[in-house]
Amino acid sequence: MNNFPFEKSSLPVLGVDEQAEKVYGIGTCTLAHLDDGRNFLINCAHTINTWGESPIYIALPIGRSIELPFALKSKSKTVDKLDIAVTPLDGEFGAHFYDNDLTSNSLIDKPIPNKYKNLPKRVVFFGYPASRANIDLKAKRINSKSIAIVGIEVESVSEKTLETYDIDLATHLLASFSIGKMKDQNNKMKRAPKPNGISGGAVYIAYVEEGKGIDSLVAIDFVGIGTEYLQNISRLKATRKAAIADFIKSSF
């Protein structure tokens, strides 16, 4: 999976503390589109809410950045469970994202080819951890290192867990994740960084051929947006792309 260009569709989100004159890595955002050709920038609603009225910027390729003008948020995390914020890529703002260095993920579900259905699956959460953001205002340098966390999809969850963590498996996808017991893309054990900051990043299902030391990527499918780290149960949570598409169609 090392060669898959995750960073072409997911970008760092930066928060500006004007009083302290500091910039922080606060999240990840993802480019996505509908089949009617409309393109959107997707953030997590809780990232926007937490930062409040302070400026939020999106880090673009080659060290550029652009301020986020607005984001239409899903009603609330507890009411509709989506936890997403969407900005149409229109006009002057949208023009910055029509770049050869960037691509967009489709929000439309497509059938998985039969030849892949029996292959082992991995869930990949991609994003930019806050702990890996290195921003130098004086030098105007942005260096946010990304991470691709690879886990196994969790398809069976107790009713108590569903209720406690506000999970709906029709809307959400869960994957196993433990900071101290994590394998990287090369199937090697390592301690993963805290995932704070990867919310808003793209989530994929990777179909692989298992090898002795490394899994070979056969196919990959965009399935949603990462939203939350459920530390107490060692799970990562994502909102499925079908739910995001429904929200966009009803809102724009």
Query: Tell me: the pLDDT tens digits for 230-250?
Result: 999 999 999 999 999 999 999
Q: Where are the beta strands (DSSP E) in the chain?
A: 10-17, 22-33, 39-44, 56-59, 65-67, 72-73, 84-88, 105-106, 121-127, 133-136, 141-144, 147-151, 172-176, 182-183, 189-190, 202-209, 216-230, 235-240
Q: Is the pLDDT of residue 176 over 80?
A: yes
In this prediction, residue 216 has a pLDDT band, given cuts at 50, 70 and 90, of confident
In this prediction, residue 102 has a pLDDT band, given cuts at 50, 70 and 90, of very high
pLDDT digits (tens, 9 = 90+) for 37-56: 999 999 999 999 988 888 99
Q: What is the DSSP letter of 233?
A: G
Q: Is the pLDDT of residue 219 over 60?
A: yes
Residue type present at position 8? K
What one-character-per-residue DSSP string does 29-76 give? EEEEE-TTS-EEEEEEHHHHHHHTTS-EEEEPGGG-EEE----EE-S-
Q: What is the CATH topology of the domain spanning 6-251?
A: Thrombin, subunit H (2.40.10)
pTM, to two decimals: 0.91
CA geometry: angle 83, 33, 24, nearest 5 deg? 50
**What does the alpha-carbon distance between residue 41 and residue 43 come to, in Å, rounded to a whole number?**
7
H helices of 131-202, in order, are: 159-164
| Lookup result for tokens 């399935």 | 223
CA geometry: angle 17, 18, 20, nearest 5 deg? 70
Say which residue, 178 or 46, is predicted with more confidence.
Answer: 46
Question: Quick one: pLDDT at residue 62?
Answer: 74
Buried-exposed string 19-40: b where 16+ CB fall within 10 A, e elsewhere? eeeebbbbbbbbbbbbeeebeb
**What does the alpha-carbon distance between residue 33 and residue 117 come to, in Å, rounded to a whole number?**
25
Q: Is the pLDDT of residue 142 over 80?
A: no
